Amino acid sequence: MSKKDIDDATGIETTGHEWDGLKELNNPLPRWWLYILYATIIWAIGYMILYPSIPLINQGWPGVLGWSSRGDVAQELDGVAESRKAFDARIAALSFDEIRADPALFNYAQRSGASAFKLVCSQCHGSGAVGDQELGYPNLNDDAWLWGGTMDAIYHTISHGVRNGVDPAARNSVMPAYGTLGILTAAQIADTAHHVLSLSGLDHDGAAAARGTDIYMTQCAACHGPDGAGNPILGAPRLSDALWLYGASHAQVVAQISNPRLGVMPPWAERFDEATRKKLAIYVHQLGGGQ
């Protein structure tokens, strides 16, 4: 590289680099370009001082401003919580009818209730609130309600729970274990089960059902009603509909009469404030089956 390579067309020296006959001219850079480089360096130094940057031995340099992305998130969450305060205060103060009359508040209650539901209710009732047939968690989407499907009734159930032995105001009722306690014989239970199936028109043995009618009337009708309409005050399910929490086969009905499974739910008044429980009640109510 002893000879300077001068470009013919411009008379400017080239850098000597060549690509497919194209040569790079060695023009000076504009000076402001250099200044921008210096400016970016100064900027970088300032940035490193102000913001977390240099890894040190135990932890990184936190920066003079003390900024962190976690701090940002915390601040945003605080902001969200702050913005919800006014809504929640109104929900706690108003009745369900008053909340329903305010579309914006009602909408907020539904959305906020949905997230609370996902947090603590979905473990048993499922994220879609469909419950679990095997485990006996009721579906909250349908129109059958063991303890009543109005907002107030749902609110009470959520607040105090079911048969938990903790909250005196909990929903409470007991169905005798007709089989295990020897109240009825196996044959009587089988007959009664046929009668129960006949109430909703399911397949059953007519003769057995007829034999079971008397037993049903004496043993079951007090709570479930003579025609199987159920009683939400006692949490006695309706037996004349198409929904069966513990199964609709003869064997499943027999098992339920012999040694009943009784649902349990914790009281949420301890865990959640009034507004959250109201929002949960509103959310569950609007799933489709609310009365």
- Positions that interact with other proteins (CB under 8 A): 2, 13, 26, 28-34, 103, 126-130, 139, 141-144, 238, 241-243, 286, 288-289
Distances (CA, A) of 279 to 2, 73, 118, 266, 284: 84, 25, 13, 17, 9
The amino acid occupying position 19 is W
Residue nearer to other proteins on the CB measure, 75 or 127:
127
Residue nearer to other proteins on the CB measure, 142 or 274:
142
**CB neighbours of 243 closer than 8 A, spacing ≥ 6?**
139, 142, 144
Local structure of residue 235 (DSSP, 8 states): T
User: Is 82 within 8 Å of 89 (Cβ atoms)?
Assistant: no
Residue nearer to other proteins on the CB measure, 30 or 55:
30
Residue nearer to other proteins on the CB measure, 141 or 173:
141
Distance CA 22, CA 29 (A): 19
Distance CA 177, CA 188 (A): 13
- Other beta carbons within 10 angstroms of residue 269's beta carbon come to 16
- Other beta carbons within 10 angstroms of residue 153's beta carbon come to 20
Residue nearer to other proteins on the CB measure, 94 or 243:
243
Phi, psi of 77 (to 5 degrees): -65, -40
Shortest Å distance, C-beta 261 to other proteins: 20
Residue nearer to other proteins on the CB measure, 11 or 165:
11
Among residues 219, 239, 245, 218, which one has the least CA distance to residue 227?
A: 239
Shortest Å distance, C-beta 182 to other proteins: 33
Shortest Å distance, C-beta 273 to other proteins: 26
Instruction: Say which residue the tokens 């569950």 belong to.
Output: 284
In a 3-state reduction of DSSP, which class is residue 188? helix
